[in-house]
Structure 1
Amino acid sequence: MRILVTNDDGINAPGIALLEEIARQFSDDVWVVAPADNQTGAGHSLTLSTPVRLRKHDERRWSVTGTPTDAVTMGLKVVLDSPPDLILSGINAGANLGDDITYSGTVSAAMEGALAGIRSIALSQVMHAEAPRSGDRFEAARAWGARAITPLLGLPFAPRTLVSVNFPALEPDAIQGIRVARQGFHDYSRGSVVEKRDPRGFRYYWFGLDAVEHTRGHDSDLEAIEDGFVSVTPLQLELTHHASLDALRERYRG
């Protein structure tokens, strides 16, 4: 089995090094193609206005001066001589739950794989802001990563679908298990924009990372994480709201 590993935190991020270790539990044909720099929040963006450069670090490790989508595209069309059987994206340093997936470069890299018809899985490690920077901040993913991936390997994925996995910020022994959950909902209307001034007096702005309200259902990914489970969420690229089609057709009927 050939595996392509990528991420959005950059080629030198500790999460991708761990994911490469986990991938090697399943195959000795593992390739890494990732952004050269941190691309957190890049979403499913594609570089079109500047050239993309490719750097070879060793025989099977490459970096790309672009987005996670660029990295997957370069991996599939330039680096690899045949398509991989599996794409693993991550392990992201932070959660990708609820509506966060729309911003996530980690999930978007897996989306690009799904568009190419390749089984793709995004993996993210929930981290608390107050957690110490020292020590193994990925210990939950390290212990549970292979266990979360294994059941997905023999499962046929529907076309244009992918799976997002999130590990709770807990010690491995405290994790309750793995729960399949739907995507939850964050209320980002409460977020803030913080205005500051630079030394020359010009204004600049930070998007505030305030705690956000969220609604939870019995089976949401948000609740699964809060209950101490690894969450596994199937996602689809088809965004049509089918329930609205008939009402809109009636509106435009002349």
Structure 2
Amino acid sequence: HDVYVQAVEALYDEVEPDTLLMPNSVNGLDYAPAVANRRSLPLVTDAIDIKRDEGLSVTREKYGSKVETVVEVDADRAAVTVRPGEWPPAEGTDDTEVRAFDADIDESAVRSTVTGFQEVGGGDVDISEAEVLVSVGRGIEEEENIALVEALADTLDATLSSSRPIVDNGWLPKNRQVGQSGKQVTPEVYIAIGISGAVQHVAGMKGAETIVAINTDPNAPIYDLADYGIVDDLFEVVPALIEAFGGEPPDI
């Protein structure tokens, strides 16, 4: 905390930007309020859109992503935390200058020290970097049935992800979870299998370019967002998709 606060403060003082952008992550939300307070900056968190014309306008979501609100910042300078994965990667130019910045850290003011890291289950898989995600929800019914969805992911050379109930049941590790309490993802293709489309889950994947939903319930909220929908039993549809793309469905 203290090292980040000092480093970001020093960088802010050096560059003097109109808008200080920080990540809306666990770490960012730890030091962003301290930096904003120490530099007397208004702070707006969890931005999904930012516009600066005559003034600064920041769009945020509320009530489980059901409502968007626009915050008009009445100040010359401000701090904003930005939701990860909300924008596609920018296409930079060849003449963009990247400069190193050395911050002078007062070690006597550092009150805590990181002594090590412990890797959580799931290895080095980062679902937020995947181009194609095959995501499984409670419609899979049993843990052993996840092998079916995993086989589809392997056939498509995709990454396996899930909704929260799958992680809560201990069937997949936390780093596979998509949603408000998981990760925000923006893949080119998102295949939602047995996922109803609760607002908490939708908040994490609504930025996908193409969304395919497979669910037996024609009124499932996921279909309000999907580009393509298959209203049918996933245990019939998924094996057919695996075969159609040249794979072999597992016996479950």
Please, what TM-score do these two structures have when normalized by structure 2? 0.21
Question: What's the TM-score, normalizing by structure 1?
Answer: 0.21
